[in-house]
Amino acid sequence: MQRHSGRGTETETGAEAGAEAGAETGTGTETGAGVKQLECGSRYDGSMSHVVTGLEVLLSSPGIVGRRPWALLSNQAAVTRALEPARSALRRVVPGRLVRLLAPEHGLDGVAQDMEAVDDERDPLTGLPVRSLYGRDAATLEPRPDDLDGVAAVVVDLPDIGCRYYTFAATMDAVMAACERAGVEALVLDRPNPIGGVAREGGPVEAGFSSFVSRLPVPVRHGLTLGELALLLQRERYPSLELSVVSCRGWRRSSWWDASGLPWVPPSPNMPSLETAALYPGLCLVEATTLSEGRGTTRPFHLVGAPGLDGEALAAELRSLAPAGAGVRAARFRPGFGKHAGAVCGGVEIHVTDRAALQPLALGLGLLQAVRAVDPARFAWRAEPYEFVGEVPAIDLLTGSAAAREAIDGGRSLAPLFASWQAWVSGFEATLGGILLYHDD
């Protein structure tokens, strides 16, 4: 394999890498200046029925990491096909070299709720120290200088769901920045994008609207894997970073998670299913209002409502918009925690009827528009700080500008905004040459 960086090039044959750890031969493919894409063994055979994740590639060729000390950014959803946690599997295969764990929002075991501070701890599974990258203020979102002391690389294995404001990729971005400053390699173990790698929705993040949920220079639904995001960030922001991507084998861009043969482990407490992930790029926008987004129920991001809201009227209004790929029914629910905890809410439940046709961002904004039309007295934007930002409305942080909020408040059609976003997406897609690792042919 080849290692590229702004500091030079080191060449190592796959045989040497495999022999170093008694593993099968690995090969490397250059994907652009400063980056290497790592593979192991033979290339994917189209007759295979299962995807092999970057984690399992590394486990079969531990020479990729070598004898260097390293840290791991991961959580409970990073598992092998046999459901062994990545941190224990890697520690078993590369003994004595994993020295520290880094954890994203929700913590290493995914037990903290949204925007809940997580303290540093010691992992009961491995006994290793865990540095939380989601604490009580914005400063905790960045690694401290001493978090990378004594390590030569940070390995990243974080199951993502393909949405700009799902915060794990933002945490990876912060770690990549720290690695570049410290002269430490970042090594990303790639996984499929659960909701596919073809469809994209949303516009850019305009100046003045950047935050933890709008940190990435990509559409809301971006259609990239975490490894591809890392390649993009390296090109755009971290040209001196030594970056390696251990790519999946067998994933095709048009495939969803349930075609991979891999188990679904909820990556966060309110992401229980693939259907929830499909809706999240649009239904997460409800967080920016006083409406319940279904947290505290068994159907988060499917149920939306508030006490006293007329669910039948809302369902009828939303159905009149003919949302692509989605069905709507009136519903009543009572959240156990979160907004309106303990109160019976009237509202709707959203069902995915055709995920290929689904446009979740358009659905989410159409839903907010429908609630405002049906019962403006019960519709309000969130006033509390959102992801450590208090001076910019949460909806603006999520959408990347004030345009969507202003259109909804003004009772204007969202069609011109969607058209401008789609034009921007087309331009964004034209910049992805050398970034995309996976194809359908």
Range with the lowest mean pLDDT among 57-71, 151-165, 281-295? Answer: 57-71
**How confident is the model at residue 11, as a pLDDT?**
32
Which residue in 286, 336, 342 sits closest to 314, CA to CA?
A: 286
- The 10s digit of each residue's pLDDT in 171-189 is 999 999 999 999 999 999 9
How many whole angstroms separate alpha carbon 173 and alpha carbon 234? Answer: 9
Asked, colleague to colleague, whether 2-265 and 274-401 share their fold, the answer is no
Helices (H) and strands (E) in the chain, counts: 11, 14
Domain ranges of the chain: 2-265, 274-401
Instruction: Please count the residues of the chain.
Output: 441
Alpha carbon distance 125, 318 (integer Å) = 47
Question: Tens of pLDDT along 329-369?
Answer: 999 999 999 999 999 999 999 999 999 999 999 999 999 99
CATH class of the region 2-265:
alpha beta
- Give the global pTM: 0.90
> What are the Cα distances from residue 192, in Å, to 53, 254, 262, 267?
8, 10, 10, 13
pLDDT for 49 equals: 60
Identify any residues that bridge with 188 across adjacent strands, giving them in sequence order.
Answer: 156, 245
User: CA–CA separation, 283 vs 305, rounded Å?
Assistant: 12
Residue 9 pairs in a beta bridge with 4
pLDDT of 30 reads 44
Per CATH, domain 274-401 is 3.90.1150.140:
yes
Model pLDDT, residue 66:
85
| Separation between Cα atoms, residue 97 and residue 266, nearest integer Å | 28
pLDDT at 322 over 80: yes
d(Cα 130, Cα 99) in Å, to the nearest integer?
Answer: 10
134-172 core/surface letters (b: 16 or more CB in 10 A; e: else): beeeeebbebeeebbeebbbbbbbbbbbbbbbbbbbbbb
When the pLDDT of each residue in the chain is averaged and rounded to a whole number, the result is 90
381 has pLDDT over 70:
yes
- What's the pLDDT at 40? 35
